[in-house]
Structures are given as C-alpha cells and as structure tokens.
C-alpha cells in the first residue's frame, strides 16, 4: 500500500476529531488523558498502515479498510432494554453497555457494591486518576501498533474496572459492546486493574444488531497484581460484513493467574492480538481460543506470551473450524528469556478443514533462551475422521448428522472452559446452528 493511501486514510479519520481535541481538557485532573490522546495522534501519523508485505500481517490483507475511511460513530442510539435482552447474561449483576462505542447508562446495570469500582472510563478516571494514569495506554504498546494508536487517539468512552485489595467479585462483570450504525468506526476500550488478592470474571462481548458494514477497533488492558485471579471470556460475534481489529495485553505479577477463553464467530475480517507478560515469579496463564468461520470470512489470531521471569507457567490451546472459502490464521509466539528458568509452557494449535476451498495458516513458535525449562508446542490440520463418521453411522445417524456432531464436539472442548453456564449454552447453540447452516 502506498504512503499516499495510508495518509489519505489516516487524514480522513483524524479530520473527524473534534476541533478542540488537541487542547487541554477542562478538568486539570484529566490533562494526562488529553496528553495521551495527543501522543497517540502524533504516533499514528508516524506509523505505516500494515500490509501483507509486513511479516506479522502477511496472511491478513486489511487493505479494504483504506477504501472505507469510516468516521467515528456518533452517539445517536435510542435502544431499549428489550433490544439487548438476547445478549444479557443472567448470572451477571454488573453490566456496562456501549452502543457504537458510546456508554449507555440507561442499558447498563451497576449494582451498589462498594467493594470495587466499575464504570465509564473517562468519568471514573476522575476518581482514580493516579491509578488510571499509571496503566492506561501502558500495556498495549500503541507506539508500535497502528490500530492501537488510532484507538487511543479517539479514546472517549470505555470500561474501567478497579478491584481493590482482597476484593472478590462473586458474579461475572459483563462488558457489552453493540454495533448499530453502518459505515462508521467504533473504538471500544477496556482497562482492568486488579490489586493484591482480588478475583473477578470479566466477559468482553462484541455483538451487532443487523448486518451492517462497519469497523470495530478495540483495545483491552489487564493489570494483575500479586495473587490476583481473573477469568476473561472474550466473545466476538459481530456482523458478517464488519471488520474487527483488536489488541489486548495482560501484565502478571507474582502468583497471579489469568485464564482466558476467546470465541470468534463473526466479522468478515477479524484480527485479535493478545500479549501476556510475566513480570514476576510463580504467575500462571491459561489461554484457550476457538474460531469458527465460513463463507469468505478471515479470522487471524496472534498471541505473544513473554516469560520474562522464572517459575512461571503458561498453557495455550487454539482451535479453528474453517468452512466454505474462509481463511483462518494462528500465530502463537512463546518467549522464554535467559533468566526465566523453571518455565513450564505448552502450546497446541488444532485445526479442522470442512471444505476443499478453506485455508488455514498456523505457526506456533518457541523462542527459548534458558536451559532449565519444560516447553512443548504442536500443530495439526485435518478433516473429519472417516472412521468416526462410520462409527456414528453404524449407530443409526445419517452422514450429515454425524459430521455435524463431530464438528460440534471438536469445538465443544473450548466452550467447556467457559465458567458462565448461560453464556456457554448460548454459544453452544450458536455453534450448533452454524454447523447446520454450513452443511
């Protein structure tokens, strides 16, 4: 892609910023936030739009975005609670709703719980300014990430969760991002700060009301202090005409635990970057992912797990189910630094092709610079097992039903890791429906 096209794309987006976007905020306590936005604007202008000539993007062509310089979505929603009811999670007592990237207090549900803070990022940052300033924009490196820089430049509303020391949130926290407007770009943002000995389950959920074409450019940052435990369920079920570009970063301190399940079902083109960094000993992460796509969808998952400290553990399993002419990409990099002895790390990429036109590119990577470690990785790409199909047919199932059942079972292993029963059931039904439609 030429530099001219890149500048035209960026220029169209930045021209949509408010005229006073580079001026100091009215609140002195948020001057740091305005400085962060200004730095991101300047950095976005210096970065180059990614193309297939870049190693990290060689399987994912996002050049169609340059032809769609969608302006930021405006706050025009008139949704009612009944409109979002199908997406609500019964187990959750805490729900933050964002419509086209803008916070909707009318649709949100915030129980009166003095134990922890949850709210709209820019409003809540006034009460937690030093803490928010220390973490916002510090974990996802927008200085080297074009789309993260754009998200930070347009940062307005977002989800802020602060878990104080010794706080355990008993019910899931639901962050619901709803897209309704056509030919716009929304910039969701999430920041979770878990202080010592805290616990929570967070659901980051992207949905659409309709089949519109639009862009979602999201960033999520998680900071887990000593002995903090967080379950993170990420669900992407956007419109089949949408573009979904997401970056997420997790910083782990001593004895902290991060468990993640990521489900990708929607969007015409989607890209999810996840970076996990071990900043202290004895931390642990478990990362599971499932992408199920068909038609002409493209789903790209890039992960980077950085073992910078010794005695840490990471386990990752990623699965792709690919039908039609769709294309799935997985690139998982695990780095073990020179002094990160006694690291225990495993990575598995398992992929199922349901069509002769479908394509999968998988690249698990290990970069080990220490000698006292236990590390393993592997990748498989295959089709449904004919012996298993024959066995099910011998038990009375027809071939189509047998294939659908085996396809569902392949993905169900990841769904079983979701600790929220109603969400798990909803996604199971979505997988079953998609399996039937693709038959």
| Count of other CB atoms within 10 angstroms of residue 384 | 15
Mean pLDDT, rounded, for 65-74: 82
For 165-209, write each residue's pLDDT tens digit. Answer: 999 999 999 999 999 999 999 999 999 999 999 999 999 999 999
Angle, helices 386-394/399-415, rounded to nearest 10 degrees: 120
d(CA 254, CA 283): 5
Angle (CA) 41-47-49 rounded to 5° is 110
pLDDT for residue 439 is more than 80: no
> Considering only 123-127, 141-145, 312-316, 372-376, which range has the smallest mean pLDDT?
123-127
Token duo for residue 281: 């000993």
Query: For 180-308, where are the alpha helices, taking DSSP H only?
Result: none
Are the CB atoms for 73 and 47 separated by under 8 Å? no
Give strand pairing partners of 304.
275, 333
For 243-261, write each residue's pLDDT tens digit. Answer: 999 999 999 999 999 999 9
pTM of the entire predicted model: 0.93
For 177-188, write each residue's pLDDT tens digit. Answer: 999 999 999 999
128 confidence band (pLDDT: 50, 70, 90): confident
Domain limits, the chain: 3-280, 386-439
For 275-331, write each residue's pLDDT tens digit. Answer: 999 999 999 999 999 999 999 999 999 999 999 999 999 999 999 999 999 999 999
Which residues, at least 6 apart from 337, have a Cβ–Cβ distance to it below 8 Å? 306, 307, 308, 309, 369, 370
Higher pLDDT among residues 228 and 15, named by residue = 228
Query: What rounded mean pLDDT belongs to the chain?
Result: 91
Q: Indicate the SS3 state at residue 314.
A: strand
For 345-357, write each residue's pLDDT tens digit. Answer: 999 999 999 999 9
125 confidence band (pLDDT: 50, 70, 90): confident
**CB half-sphere exposure, 113, CA atoms < 13 A:** 21
pLDDT for residue 129 is more than 90: no
pLDDT for residue 22 is more than 70: no
Give the DSSP letter of residue 125.
T
Angle, helices 3-15/146-153, rounded to nearest 10 degrees: 20
CA 256 to chain centre: 20
Q: Residue 234 class from Cβ within 10 Å (0-12 exposed, 13-18 middle, 19+ buried)? A: buried
> How do strand 374-382 and strand 199-208 relate by DSSP bridges?
unpaired
Percentage with pLDDT > 90 across the chain: 74
Q: Give the pLDDT score at 23.
A: 47
Q: How many residues does the chain have?
A: 439
Taking the CA atoms of 10, 12, 16 and 20 in sequence, report the sign of the dihedral they define. Answer: positive
Tokens 């996840």 correspond to 274
d(CA 347, CA 272): 17
Mean pLDDT, rounded, for 404-410: 92
Mean pLDDT, rounded, for 139-162: 93
Query: For 26-139, where are the alpha helices, taking DSSP H only?
Result: 31-46, 81-84, 121-124, 129-135
Which residues, at least 6 apart from 188, have a Cβ–Cβ distance to it below 8 Å? 98, 101, 158, 159, 177, 206, 216, 217, 218, 219
pLDDT for residue 436 is more than 90: no
């Amino acid at each position: 892609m030429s530099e001219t096209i890149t500048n035209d794309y960026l220029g169209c987006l930045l021209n949509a910023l408010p005229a006073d976007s580079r001026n100091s905020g009215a609140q002195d306590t948020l001057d740091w936030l305005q400085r962060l936005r200004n730095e991101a604007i300047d950095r976005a202008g210096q970065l180059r739009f990614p193309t297939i000539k870049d190693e990290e993007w060689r399987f994912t062509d996002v050049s169609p975005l340059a032809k769609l310089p969608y302006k930021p979505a405006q706050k025009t929603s008139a949704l009612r609670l009944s409109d979002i009811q199908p997406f609500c999670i019964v187990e959750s007592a805490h729900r933050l709703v964002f419509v086209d990237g803008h916070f909707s207090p009318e649709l949100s549900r915030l129980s009166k719980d003095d134990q922890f803070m949850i709210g709209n990022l820019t409003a809540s940052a006034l009460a937690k300014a030093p803490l928010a300033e220390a973490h916002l924009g510090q974990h996802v490196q927008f200085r080297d990430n074009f789309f993260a820089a754009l998200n930070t430049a347009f940062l307005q509303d977002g989800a802020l969760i602060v878990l104080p020391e010794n706080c355990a949130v008993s019910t899931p926290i639901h962050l619901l991002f709803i897209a309704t407007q056509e030919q716009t770009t929304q910039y969701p943002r999430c920041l979770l700060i878990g202080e010592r000995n805290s616990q929570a389950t967070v659901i980051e959920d992207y949905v659409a009301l309709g089949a519109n074409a639009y862009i979602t450019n999201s960033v999520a940052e998680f900071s887990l202090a000593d002995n903090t435990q967080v379950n993170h369920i990420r669900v992407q079920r956007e419109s089949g005409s949408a573009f979904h570009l997401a970056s997420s970063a997790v910083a782990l301190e001593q004895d902290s635990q991060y468990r993640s399940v990521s489900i990708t079902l929607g969007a015409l083109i989607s890209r999810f970057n996840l970076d996990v960094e071990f900043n202290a000993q004895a931390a642990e992460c478990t990362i599971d992912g499932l992408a199920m796509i068909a038609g002409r969808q493209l789903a790209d998952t890039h992960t980077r797990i950085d073992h910078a400290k010794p005695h840490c553990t990471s386990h990752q399993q990623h699965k792709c189910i690919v039908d039609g002419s769709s294309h799935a990409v997985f690139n998982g990099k695990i780095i073990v630094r020179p002094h990160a002895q006694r690291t225990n790390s495993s990575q598995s990429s398992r992929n199922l092709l349901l069509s002769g036109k479908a394509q999968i590119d998988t690249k698990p990577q290990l970069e080990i610079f220490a000698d006292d470690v236990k590390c393993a990785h592997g990748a498989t790409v295959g089709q449904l097992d004919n012996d298993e199909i024959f066995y099910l047919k011998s038990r009375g199932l027809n071939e189509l039903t047998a294939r659908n059942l085996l396809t569902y079972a392949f993905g169900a292993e990841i769904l079983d890791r979701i600790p929220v029963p109603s969400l798990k059931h909803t996604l199971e039904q979505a997988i079953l429906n998609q399996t039937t439609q693709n038959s």
